[in-house]
Amino acid sequence: MNEALTAALNAEIHPEAAALAGDGYDIRRAELDRLWARGRAFLGTELAIMGGAMTWVSERNLVAAISNAGGFGVIASGSMSPELLDQEIAATSALTQRPFGVNLITMHPQLLELIDVCIGRGLGHVVLAGGIPSTAAIQRIRNGGARVLCFTPALVLGKRLVRMGADAIVIEGSEAGGHIGPVSTAVLAQEVLPHLKEVPVFVAGGIGRGEAILSYLEMGASGVQLGTRFVCAHESIAHARFKRAFIRASARDAMPSVQLDARFPVIPVRALANPATERFREVQRGIIERFNNGELSQKDAQLEIEHFWAGALRRAVLDGDIETGSLMAGQSVGLVSREQSTAAILDELVDQALAAIAGRGRRYSGPVPEPSPTRRNAGA
Ligand SMILES: Cc1cc2nc3c(=O)[nH]c(=O)nc-3n(C[C@H](O)[C@H](O)[C@H](O)COP(=O)(O)O)c2cc1C
């Protein structure tokens, strides 16, 4: 199909876009905007791309940069106290007039106070992460006038969260960086997107290029969430050594944490393999041996295992300790090849999505194939 025919077809489908047509950019852009209209309206942004909250990385600078560039930045509150969160929101508001959100961890002991801080600051969106939120938490956010986004690792829970009051759902596959579930983004998207239409659904995990964004939008997503891709933004305060590790890494270096013994569960976290990864195996081995010899109770053994990674992400992100720190990263780290401005990253993603839309016309330009014998037979 040549460019003129593509334009003519587009004109038929999108007369309003055709009116704007120059080199076809406006038509493609109108198509992208149609695909993610629900996500844009929900977030109040130009692009339905959320910057996934990353503890220690997603602070005022990166969050404001993402929002200023048309995306939706999200503060990672991690283990922040209500006072610290209040300061972070105020500082972010000073850097951007655009909408941004806050990610709260459901098991934080002061969750309700943190919610009140978000409401008090007039925030429009709160993301509840790290476990199934209570109805009380969801309703407190809604009653305060903000919208609630919840994560789901499966369709059934997604439906339940919507009944509990979630205004939007994020599905995050196991390709993602940080804490992960067992199911890949590709499968989760097929499980959830065709069947969860009540609220906008955002897809996260393993997205590093615009073509992937387009494909999830075409499957019914309202928008996407990316984390790993933003770590090496100029505006990200991550230490130069942390960024360099990302730039050097390939997808296969981002591995889930290893559990040695089913009696001692390890929370699955995807991170770049480093000396700490190997050390974690040795430490687990030693602890399990001490438990087997009766030197440790099961509870103490479990606590020692959990303690291993305490403070490790902070050490890596802020201090640049890439040997003993935790280099949480998704598999899309293989697509991170240099430091760029946040605006350039978002532009690149949008351009790739637009190029994919343009390429669609070209892909269908060949002669219409004869139906295959199998299909003919099936039809007979
Ligand atoms: C370094 C790092 C820290 C993260 N910290 C959090 C967090 O505190 N809360 C959260 O909900 N998700 C966290 N995530 C997940 C991101 O918000 C996002 O959903 C994920 O990175 C998307 O997948 P991607 O890495 O393939 O882009 C983290 C991810 C990374 C890479």
Residue-wise pLDDT for 247-290, tens only, equals 999 999 999 999 999 999 999 999 999 999 999 999 999 999 99
Answer yes or no: are the C-beta atoms of 236 and 62 closer than 8 Å: yes
Q: What is the pLDDT of residues 348-361, one digit of tens each?
A: 999 999 999 998 86
- Asked if the model's pLDDT at residue 378 lies above 90, the reply is no
Which residue ranges have their beta carbon within 6 Å of ligand 1?
52-55, 57, 76, 78, 103, 129, 172, 175-178, 204-207, 225-229, 328-330, 332
pLDDT at 370: 56
Answer yes or no: are the C-beta atoms of 103 and 76 closer than 8 Å: yes
pLDDT at 360: 81
Angle made by CA atoms 276, 334, 356, in degrees to the nearest 5: 155
Taking residues 22-37, what's their average pLDDT?
Answer: 91
Confidence of residue 1 (pLDDT cuts 50, 70, 90): very low
Which of 49, 50, 54 most suits a substitution to test ligand 1, by most atoms within 8 Å of the C-beta?
54
Residue whose CA is at the smallest distance from ligand 1 atom 4: 54
- What distance in angstroms lies between residue 203's CA and the mean position of ligand 1's atoms? 12
- What distance in angstroms lies between residue 121's CA and the mean position of ligand 1's atoms? 24
- pTM score of the predicted model: 0.90
List all residues 6 or more positions away from 117 whose beta carbon is below 8 Å from its beta carbon. Answer: 82, 85, 86, 89
If you count them, how many residues does the chain have?
A: 380
- Asked if the model's pLDDT at residue 372 lies above 70, the reply is no
- What distance in angstroms lies between residue 273's CA and the mean position of ligand 1's atoms? 17
Q: What is the pLDDT of residues 135-153, one digit of tens each?
A: 999 999 999 999 999 999 9
Residue whose CA is at the smallest distance from ligand 1 atom 28: 54
pLDDT at 24: 87
- What distance in angstroms lies between residue 178's CA and the mean position of ligand 1's atoms? 5
Q: What is the mean pLDDT of the chain?
A: 92
Terminal C-alpha separation, the chain: 31
CA 63 – CA 325 distance, rounded (Å): 23
- Asked if the model's pLDDT at residue 364 lies above 80, the reply is no
Confidence of residue 109 (pLDDT cuts 50, 70, 90): very high
Taking residues 189-199, what's their average pLDDT?
Answer: 98
